[in-house]
Amino acid sequence: MEPPVQLLGAETIFTPLELIGIFRSPLRAMKLKIFARTVRNFHMPPKLDQCRHLAGRVVSIGVILLFLADLNLIAQEPDNHELRLRQLEEQLQLQMKEINQLEEALKQSAHAEPSDWGSVDYDNGLILTPPENSKTPFSMKLNGWIQFRYHGFDSSVNTWTDNAGVARRVEDRSAFDIERARLVFSGHVLDERLTYFLQLDGDTDGGHAVDFFDYYWAWEFDEALSIELGKRKVSASRQWLLGARHTRLIDRPMATDFFRPDRTVGIWAVGELPVNIHYELNLGNGYRTSNFSDTETDDRLTFAATSYIDPLGDYGSALVDFKPSENPLVRLGHSFVYSHNSGEDDGDPYLETNFLRLTDGTRLTDLGALAPGVRVSEVDIYYYSVDAAFKYQGWSLDAEVYLVWLEQLKGNGPLPVSDLMQHGYYVEGGYFLIPEKLDCNLRYSEIDGFYGHGREIAGGINYYPLKTAAMKLSFDVTRIIDSPMQNTASDIFVGDDGMLYRTQFQAEF
């Protein structure tokens, strides 16, 4: 006995014999019986419901048309029965052909291998890696961090006067701002030795415009040598190279920001040598040429070098002893920079020289900075610094001494001096009152030279609510005396003399 047949898309189940009874024609009953067997043996992949329902509707419509045609044939003359039947059979064959094509397409789709887009993971950043059978090596790591800050400054003076005799107002300040909002993309491509680094920055100081801070390619020959090509920090000053999210207080010491170089476009050689020695060599466009075009810089390149040693073991990237060290850790280092800054043909200085200031805050290239009516246009910069750091069982201490010689001074007129020497230092330390939770820190910073003397005395705390350095709430208070520095990132301006209060929330991933 033939099993029952359910027409696709219908709820009623018929046996072949019941269908024969409906049509009351031996010939049509035989053909319908064959059709019923075809429907019964027709299988669709279970995952492809949409196409299965489409095929069911096609078959059901065919059967209904056949049924209606039978009713119509009964009412017509016998001579037209066979002609009409052949027409309906041709339509049914076309529908069955379409069903077979759909079935074949579904089978091919069901047997196709699923696409492998690789994997996404998190390990101190979002990591994207391709599938193992990828023909092109590639990886990407995404990191980000934001500093949301409030700063208030209460000035104890109304004006300050520079060495050229120009008096300027010193204002009280109170504001919220996004000091740093960074996104970092890093990884390798084409070959595991070809790495890349891209850092974007946006903050209130820059009008919330996105700036390409660092971007470079690097080819890693081995651990001892990597060649980097692009834009990044000039290799000098341990605090400057450390990174702003690792500072002990809310921002860097005043002496660091006064003497340090900035970013430049150039070439770097970077590596790790035995016994925990790190070194960097740099040849770039200038001392501070971060976003300058070639028309705003001279034709002389800048050379920089830095190195440090961790004689008692890896010191790590943090100044504070967040996870109390079981053994003492020490870092000793030094840095050197030579940068020649020449003037334009008409005697005016290039923009890359504008950052230089005397120790009273006067911009070196301002008219009358060193002599009435004379503007400095050329200078050779020699920078040297020595740094040291120590941490043990929650205690930590670090310091850096800066020496800067301004040689071969030239201008559009006679100058009273041809050489200047300016120097400064900072020392800071702290202790974790509650390990991995709460620390307190103190700092003293000084800038000195022939034209002025500036100081900074600061103290503050850091609270880590999740017991991780990835999120912290900081507060510090700074007594500023005769600031010669202009730096919006640290909220310290030229001529500041008074109390600076800062509160900051910082989080990173």
- Determine the Cα–Cα distance for residues 310 and 394; give it in Å rounded to an integer: 18
| β-bridge partners, 147 | 180, 506
What pLDDT, on the 0 to 100 scale, is given for residue 27?
Answer: 46
Under 8 Å between Cβ of 331 and 308: yes
**216's tokens:** 């470079």
Kindly give the interhelix angle for 81-111 and 26-40, rounded to the nearest 10 degrees: 10
Q: What is the pLDDT of residues 443-471, one digit of tens each?
A: 999 999 999 999 999 999 999 999 999 99
Distance of CA 145 to the CA centre of its chain: 8
**pLDDT surpassing 80 at residue 5:** no
Confidence grade of residue 415 (pLDDT, cut at 50, 70, 90): very high
**pLDDT surpassing 90 at residue 278:** yes
- Determine the Cα–Cα distance for residues 458 and 444; give it in Å rounded to an integer: 6
| Range of lowest pLDDT (12-16, 305-309, 390-394) | 12-16
Q: What is the pLDDT of residues 197-220, one digit of tens each?
A: 999 998 888 778 888 889 999 999
Q: What is the pLDDT of residues 216-264, one digit of tens each?
A: 999 999 999 999 999 999 999 999 999 899 999 999 999 999 999 999 9
**pLDDT surpassing 60 at residue 42:** no
- Determine the Cα–Cα distance for residues 372 and 466; give it in Å rounded to an integer: 58
Under 8 Å between Cβ of 474 and 504: yes
**pLDDT surpassing 50 at residue 10:** no
- Determine the Cα–Cα distance for residues 180 and 505; give it in Å rounded to an integer: 11
The pTM score is 0.75
Any idea where the domains of the chain sit in the sequence? 5-111, 119-269+316-337+361-508
Phi-psi domain of 394 (left: phi exceeds 0; alpha: psi -120 through 50; beta: other): left
- Determine the Cα–Cα distance for residues 219 and 226; give it in Å rounded to an integer: 6
Phi-psi domain of 498 (left: phi exceeds 0; alpha: psi -120 through 50; beta: other): left
pLDDT > 90 fraction of the chain, expressed in percent and rounded: 61
Phi-psi domain of 12 (left: phi exceeds 0; alpha: psi -120 through 50; beta: other): beta
**373's tokens:** 């009516």
- Determine the Cα–Cα distance for residues 434 and 282; give it in Å rounded to an integer: 41
What pLDDT, on the 0 to 100 scale, is given for residue 323?
Answer: 93
| Range of lowest pLDDT (10-24, 336-350, 379-393) | 10-24
Which backbone phi and psi does 199 adopt, to 5 degrees?
A: -125, 125
DSSP letters, 158-171, are SEEE-TTS-EEE--
CATH architecture of 119-269+316-337+361-508: Beta Barrel (2.40)
Confidence grade of residue 25 (pLDDT, cut at 50, 70, 90): very low
**pLDDT surpassing 70 at residue 68:** no
**pLDDT surpassing 70 at residue 348:** no
Under 8 Å between Cβ of 55 and 99: yes
507 three-state secondary structure: strand
Burial status of residue 415 (CB atoms within 10 A of its CB: 0-12, 13-18, 19 or more) = middle
Burial status of residue 345 (CB atoms within 10 A of its CB: 0-12, 13-18, 19 or more) = exposed
Sequence-separated (6 or more) residues with CB below 8 Å from residue 101: none
Confidence grade of residue 57 (pLDDT, cut at 50, 70, 90): low
| Range of lowest pLDDT (92-101, 333-342, 346-355) | 346-355
**pLDDT surpassing 90 at residue 156:** yes
Confidence grade of residue 109 (pLDDT, cut at 50, 70, 90): low
Under 8 Å between Cβ of 73 and 81: yes
What pLDDT, on the 0 to 100 scale, is given for residue 22?
Answer: 45
In 3D, which of 438, 319, 439 has the Cα closest to residue 390?
Answer: 319
Q: Region 84-108: what's the mean pLDDT?
A: 79
DSSP letters, 107-162, are HHHHHSPPP---EEEESSSEEEE--TT-SS-EEEEEEEEEEEEEEEEEES-SEEE-
What pLDDT, on the 0 to 100 scale, is given for residue 200?
Answer: 93
Count of CB atoms situated within 10 Å of the CB of 467: 12
DSSP letters, 445-506, are EEEE-SS-EEEEEEEEEEE-TTSSTTEEEEEEEEEEES----BTTTTB-TT--EEEEEEEEE
In 3D, which of 463, 502, 509, 443 has the Cα closest to residue 175?
Answer: 502
Query: Strand 119-122 vs strand 159-161: parallel, antiparallel, or unpaired?
Result: unpaired
| Greater model confidence, 21 or 381 | 381
| DSSP summary character for residue 175 | E
**136's tokens:** 């092109």
Q: How far is CA 432 from CA 316, 324, 438, 464, 507, in A?
A: 17, 9, 6, 11, 20
